[in-house]
Amino acid sequence: MVKGVDKVGLGGSIRAVERETLNDRVYRELRTMIMSGGFAPGSEMKLRDLAQSLHVSPMPVRDAIGRLVVERALKMLPNHRVIVPETTIDEFLEIRRVRILLEGEAAALACQHVSPDVIASLKRIHEKIKSLSGNKQRQFWALNQEFHFTVYEAAKSPLILSMIESLWLQIGPVFNHIPINLTSEGARGHQRIIAALGAGDAKAARAALTEDLMKGGDRIIAALIQDKQPAH
Amino acid sequence: MVKGVDKVGLGGSIRAVERETLNDRVYRELRTMIMSGGFAPGSEMKLRDLAQSLHVSPMPVRDAIGRLVVERALKMLPNHRVIVPETTIDEFLEIRRVRILLEGEAAALACQHVSPDVIASLKRIHEKIKSLSGNKQRQFWALNQEFHFTVYEAAKSPLILSMIESLWLQIGPVFNHIPINLTSEGARGHQRIIAALGAGDAKAARAALTEDLMKGGDRIIAALIQDKQPAH
DNA sequence: ATATTTGATTTGTTATCACAAATCACAATT
DNA sequence: AATTGTGATTTGTGATAACAAATCAAATAT
């Protein structure tokens, strides 16, 4: 009954100081599911349903949903019902505009902090993407995400990183639920980003990233238009 | 006992469709207080205290604080205690960097939508600021805020607007709690912004706004440095 | 047959309460 | 005198339950 006995691990490692609350767990789980396409755009997020499937009370779910609404990952209708947003083309363009600003800035900043490790990681992910066969949209999206965030983390700006995360969260459902024509073009864009970072050329890095987002965005927009007119 | 009788206002106005929950009210009130300097940086936000002073249960306060933590208006320490952030110089520079990106973009976008009304409003606010006597820091901050957001609302981009709001929320406590040397220089910056918007010159608008933020930021940074070394 | 009402069900909102972790204050011991 | 242990208090976390608003469906009236 001696206090603190459970803090001195016999295995030699002190107990992790991080306390994982249910709030945080639910928030992180929902976040991951949204980002990876776990929910279709337009689907309703019902408190009690989610609570039951996550085996918690409605309260932490409510909390997590509230947070996600603030960062626009979910949308609250006037009825106070919460849905995964259905992104219009205008909204997508709006997001892309901001992404170019922030992710371009991050790429430029990354040039000041880039290390051989980062370059190596980027090349490794790049190879994985190139070796992706067929139209494996989900895998492409996940690897693409890994590639981009490797760059953004190198920028060493927690504020910019969190804002970019929020933007990706908003377009996650689109990427994962609209069938996109994946060509191998995207690879060249990543190649240019790696080159610019390797050279420490901030201007080139921003330009390369901007072009990547523009090209990729154009494909999404085309898919969005096609998706809106299923007939004929 | 006819249903809907309370929806058809006899005064001619339909009952407001907006349902104002306690959550929202508390959130909005805390938000306003933070932005306008109601809390000093570093002060703790205690659930039960706030609940008591707002005459609600701790639950809506908890909800509102959670949201504000997500948008970085409040900061959660590892102990899970929540405080108003104390902004370091590095953090301030980080925020300014992003502000220049987003607010510059907003100014450029505003050029496409600017109307005589907007120009008139800006001039009116500008006159008010110029007529401000003495070092009325609070009033200056409030009017400055009004001026800038008049521009940003004209940009017609809800996403950019909400992101800018979040950034202002983060620097609100700084502006209102660090004594700043208010010179009349700021006025010229606003004058240039009005001119650029009036001419519909997006490039000039972005440049004018950037300079305004840089100049203003420099004064804040000077104040932050002075504030950190009170002795000698 | 259509529209409206009314009751039942669902769903979000909020207070109360029980619990857990952290902090604080005081005492005991070295 | 300083430090460590111990209990009390404070503070955040999460579940339950009561409440309110919205939705849905069936029944009624026109």
**What residues form DSSP beta bridges with A75?**
A83
- Taking the stretch 65-84 of protein chain B, residues with Cβ within 7 Å of any atom in nucleic acid chain C are 79-81
Q: How far is CA B78 from CA A18, A20, B82, B83, in A?
A: 8, 11, 9, 11
Residue A207 CB contacts under 8 Å (≥ 6 apart), including other chains: A196
Closest CA to B131 of B121, B141, B118, B140: B140
User: Distance (Å, rounded) from C-alpha B28 to C-alpha B165?
Assistant: 13
Q: Locate the chain B residue with the closest alpha carbon to A92.
A: B159
Question: Position of tokens 């090349």?
Answer: A123
CA distance linking residue B13 with residue B74, whole number of Å: 38
Percentage of chain A modeled with pLDDT above 90: 73
| Local structure of B160: helix, strand or coil | helix
R_g (Cα) of chain B, nearest Å: 20
Quote the pLDDT of residue A182: 73
B52 touches strand C (CB under 7 A): no
Q: In this predicted structure, which of A127-131, A198-202, B19-23, B120-124 has the lowest mean pLDDT?
A: B19-23
Provide the CA B113 distance to its chain's centre, in angstroms: 22
Say if residues B193 and B79 touch (Cβ distance below 8 Å).
no
Contact B102 A101 (CB under 8 A): yes
Average pLDDT estimate for A119-138: 89
**A66 neighbourhood in chain B, CB within 8 Å:** 23, 63, 66-67
Instruction: Check CB contact of A21 with chain B, cutoff 8 Å.
Output: yes
Rounded Cα gap, residues B162 and A174, in angstroms: 21
Record: contact A105-B91, CB cut-off 8 A: no
Q: Are A173 and A67 in contact (CB under 8 A)?
A: no
**Predicted pLDDT at A181:** 76
User: How many Å apart are B40 CA and C27 C1'?
Assistant: 36
More confident residue, B109 or A226: B109
CA B39 to C1' D13 (Å) is 25
Q: What pLDDT was estimated at residue B19?
A: 66
Note the pLDDT of residue B230. Answer: 58
Q: Give the distance from residue B84's alpha carbon to the nearest chain A alpha carbon, in angstroms.
A: 16
- The number of C-beta contacts closer than 8 angstroms across A and B is 63
Kindly give the pairing relationship between strand B82-83 and strand B75-76. antiparallel
Residue A123 has pLDDT above 60, yes or no: yes
Q: Where does residue B84 rank: exposed (0-12), middle (13-18), buried (19+ CB within 10 A)?
A: buried
Average pLDDT, chain A: 88
- Domain B22-83: assigned CATH number: 1.10.10.10
Q: How confident is the model at residue A18 (pLDDT cuts 50, 70, 90)?
A: low
- Residues 22-61 in B contacting A (C-alpha not used; CB under 8 Å): 23
Task: Spell out the per-residue pLDDT of chain B, length 232, in tens.
Answer: 333 333 332 233 333 445 688 988 999 999 999 999 899 999 999 999 999 989 999 999 999 999 999 999 999 998 899 999 999 999 999 999 999 999 999 999 999 999 999 999 999 999 999 888 777 888 888 999 999 999 999 999 999 999 999 999 999 999 888 888 777 667 789 999 999 999 999 999 999 999 999 999 999 999 999 877 655 4
Q: Which residue is nearest to nucleotide C12 (CA to C1')?
A: A80
Question: Gap from B42 CA to C14 C1', in Å?
Answer: 29
Q: Which of A223, A219, A213, A176 lies closest to A96 in space, CA to CA?
A: A213
Helix (H, G, I), strand (E, B) or coil at A83: strand
Among A98, A100, A103, A169, pick the best mutation site for testing chain B contact (most B Cβ within 10 A): A98
Q: Is A67's CB less than 7 Å from nucleic acid strand C?
A: no
Predicted local distance difference test score (pLDDT) of residue B1: 30
- Residue A64 CA and nucleotide C11 C1' are separated, in Å, by 17
How far apart CA B82 and CA B70 sit, in angstroms, is 12
CATH 3.40.50.2000 correct for A89-228? no
Among candidate residues A96, A107, A84, the one with its CA nearest the CA of residue A36: A84
Summarize the confidence of residues A120-138 as an average pLDDT: 89
CB contact under 8 A, B66 and A67: yes
> Is A80 near chain B, with CB under 8 Å?
yes
Chain A residues closer than 8 Å to B21 by CB: 80
pLDDT of residue A185: 67
Residues 78-107 of chain A sitting with CB below 7 angstroms of strand C = 80-82
Q: Residue B98, CB, less than 7 Å from strand C? A: no
Instruction: Work out the minimum CA distance from B94 to partner chain A, whole angstroms.
Output: 7
Residue B146 pLDDT:
97
B192 phi/psi in degrees, rounded to 5: -65, -35
Flag whether pLDDT at A188 surpasses 80: yes
User: Is the CB of B57 less than 7 A from some atom of nucleic acid strand C?
Assistant: yes
By Cβ distance, the residue of A70, A97, A101 closest to B71 is: A70
Q: Cα(B114)–Cα(B133) distance, rounded to whole angstroms?
A: 30
User: In sequence order, which residues have a C-beta less than 8 Å from that of residue A116 and are 6 or more positions away?
Assistant: none
> What distance in Å separates the CA atoms of residue A227 and residue A221, rounded to the nearest whole number?
10
pLDDT band at A11 (very low <50, low <70, confident <90, very high): very low
Return residue ranges of chain B for CATH 1.20.120.530.
89-228
Residues linked to residue B83 through DSSP beta bridges, in sequence order: B44, B75
Contact list in A for residue B19 (CB cut-off 8 A) is: 80
Residues 14-43 of B with CB under 7 A from strand C: 21-23
Using the structure block, give the residue that is written with the tokens 């490039």.
Answer: B203
Q: How far apart are CA A200 and CA A197, in angstroms?
A: 5
At A211-223, the pLDDT tens digits run 999 999 999 999 9
Give the residue range(s) of CATH 1.10.10.10 domains in chain A. 22-83
Compute the C-alpha angle B119/B122/B128, nearest 5°. Answer: 145
